Amino acid sequence: MSRAACIAALVFATALVFAASDGPPPWAYGFPSAAGATPSAPVAAPPAAASAPDVAPRPLTGSAASFTLAQIRDGFGPADWFPGDHPQMPEIVAHGKKPDVRACSLCHYPNGKGRPENAGVSGLPVAYFIQTMADFKADARKSSDTRKANTNLMVTYAKNMTDEEVKAAAEYFAAMTWTPWIKVVEAAIVPKTRIAGGMFIALDGTATEPIGDRIIEVPDDTERTESLRDPRSGFTAYVPVGSIKKGETLVTTGGGGKTTRCAVCHGADLKGMGPVPGIAGRSPSYTVRQLFDTQHGTRKGVWADLMKPVVANLSNEDMLAIAAYTASRP
């Protein structure tokens, strides 16, 4: 090997080591810092709730119903603010199954829009939905960040559901079309945030900080999302300046052999094709988790073989850019 080739090989190898040693990006998994790291600046939690139970029924603009906080968060029958927005829920979606399966509508909402810390499940192809539930059940779909407790819960649910219940949930959510509700905004400076249950929430007031190498996805209305779990109240995802364009190049051209054009399998408009799920307009935090988990083999269902070559050579920064772009697609 010539000296030049030797140096080139070394540089390449070093680059590979760096790419492979990138840990899970904490922001995508809903943490302020990597596992084991000391968080730089602990963010003050909101004032603790008053000790007397809050039993006041809450109204929500646009809904004829009102619910107490306990009803809103009831794992076996959470609030359904807008029954007219969705078909009739199967029992497992509306109420879950005691003791081990909580209602799908608690985290994913009755309309399947979900939140950044879980997943949008409406509009997923039935065959894909059933396969991915089987992957959870077979321990072929776990989080790369073992602190992510709600992914572990999904595994527990999948293990405790019958095939009929999985099918009913799959058909219910597939019957609804995915419509975007996440606004993607490029920004160098973002609101300071706190994290509650894996979701970033803008602090009250005007405090800001540099975005860094992160996507910060926050509810547009903290009260409506955090307290009321309003399934019509969307999110804003702040992404680094220039990331959408960079992602567009990777997604639409493959970046000169770095990855594969996503449209080949996910459809021309990335809204899904046959059993392959849509990736347009979905939570960018969720998307990065899936790309990272697939790259690191914690998501390794049968169908993941098709995605492995796609993600093999991506850095965390590439994944961020790809997700910024796909989330911004209608």
Query: Pseudo-torsion of CA 122, 123, 126, 129, nearest 10°?
Result: -50
CB of 47 to ligand HEC, least distance (A): 25
The CB density around residue 226, as the number of other CB atoms within 10 Å, is 17
Closest to 283 in 3D by CA, of 314, 241, 329: 329
State how far the Cα of 326 lies from the Cα of 282, in Å rounded to an integer.
Answer: 7
Confirm or reject binding of residue 107 to ligand HEC (CB under 6 A): yes
The first and second tokens of residue 103, run together, are 């209602």
The radius of gyration of the chain from alpha carbons, rounded to an integer in Å, stands at: 20
Q: Is residue 20 left, alpha or beta, with left meaning phi > 0 and alpha meaning psi from -120 to 50?
A: alpha
CB of 249 to ligand HEC, least distance (A): 11
Given 60, 79, 94, 104, the residue binding ligand HEC (CB under 6 A):
104
Confirm or reject binding of residue 76 to ligand HEC (CB under 6 A): no
State how far the Cα of 58 lies from the Cα of 39, in Å rounded to an integer.
Answer: 35
Confirm or reject binding of residue 276 to ligand HEC (CB under 6 A): yes
Q: Give the angle subtended at the CA of 292 by the CAs of 174 and 124, to the nearest 5°.
A: 5
CB of 76 to ligand HEC, least distance (A): 10
State how far the Cα of 209 lies from the Cα of 201, in Å rounded to an integer.
Answer: 14
Confirm or reject binding of residue 150 to ligand HEC (CB under 6 A): yes
CB of 236 to ligand HEC, least distance (A): 20
How many amino acids of this chain bind ligand HEC (CB under 6 A)?
46
The first and second tokens of residue 179, run together, are 């419509």
Binding mask 203-242 for ligand HEC (x = CB under 6 A): ----------------------------------------
CB of 210 to ligand HEC, least distance (A): 26
Binding mask 19-58 for ligand HEC (x = CB under 6 A): ----------------------------------------
Closest to 118 in 3D by CA, of 110, 106, 128: 106
Which residues are near ligand HEC by CB under 6 A? 92, 101-102, 104, 106-108, 117-119, 121, 124, 129, 132-133, 143, 150-151, 153-154, 157, 169, 251, 259-260, 262, 264-266, 276-277, 279, 286-287, 289-291, 299, 301, 303-304, 306-307, 310, 322, 326
